[in-house]
Amino acid sequence: MSQSLLIFVAFIALMYFMMIRPQQKTAKKRQNMLNELKPGSEIVTIGGLHGKVDSLDTNTFTLDADGVFLTFERSAIRTVVENKDLTESVETNVAPVEVKNEKIVDNADSEKEDAISNKED
């Protein structure tokens, strides 16, 4: 009896540390992200709309997307875009491409030549 109870308690503890605890950490991280939000922050909504926060209320915010102002619930924020993410995504090392002038052979012409040579044989 005590051995099966010990296994049951160990299973519950394992479930807690494998499932519930990571969800709590993620929720806490998201709540901190929403609390640190301020006007001028660049965000992405859950619908994929990119813009800057114009104003904040307790449950809503106004998003400025290139002069279009939209009001959303705070829960519609997926991520806050940091400036370092924008600069890292721009490629600065672009290698030049070497272009060769080559004659383009039309497959139709080569097929005609093959057909003519086959008829002569």
pLDDT single digits (tens) 9-34: 999 999 888 888 899 999 999 999 99
Q: Phi, psi at residue 16, to the nearest 5°?
A: -60, -50
Position 64: which residue type?
A: D
- SS3 of 40, please? coil
Of 103 and 20, the structure prediction assigns the larger pLDDT to 20
How many residues in total does the chain contain? 121
C-alpha separations of 81 from 20, 24, 35, 89 in Å: 27, 23, 15, 12
Quote the pLDDT of residue 115: 65
* pTM of the predicted protein model: 0.54
